[in-house]
Amino acid sequence: MVFLPRPPRYHAAANPGVFEMPIADTIRRKLTDRFAPIRLEIVDESHRHAGHAGARPEGETHFAVTIVSAAFGGQGRLARQRLVYQTLAQELATRVHALSLTTLAPDEDTRREG
């Protein structure tokens, strides 16, 4: 799956002179910096939640993330998810309403090559 980056958006009313990176790009950068993933997929599922609590018309509120990283080796599912939630705490407190996580160690990834 290939995701092309979108240009930054300008939010003049909220933050004069401040450019805001699309949230999927912020999620990708933070997870990559923290976990050096072998595979990282981020899907914006906001369109599926239009009209629901937490949904905004511009989207970028509901995401599904699949991350495969050696950092998850030897850890249980909840511990892995807590690490991701800690990494994305600012986004979860502000712009992201829902985050669906699949966190895998490399030996658990059924899509790996080989």
Amino acid (1-letter code) at residue 86: Q
Please list the residues that pair with 44 across neighbouring strands. 63
Domains for the chain: give ranges and CATH numbers.
Answer: 19-108 (3.30.300.90)
d(CA 19, CA 8): 6
Q: Each residue's pLDDT tens digit in the chain (114 positions)?
A: 444 444 444 343 444 444 567 899 999 999 999 999 999 999 988 756 555 655 555 657 789 999 999 999 999 999 999 999 999 999 999 888 889 999 999 999 987 654
Residues 6+ apart with CB under 8 A from 16: none
**3 state DSSP class of 9:** strand
User: What global pTM score does this model have?
Assistant: 0.74
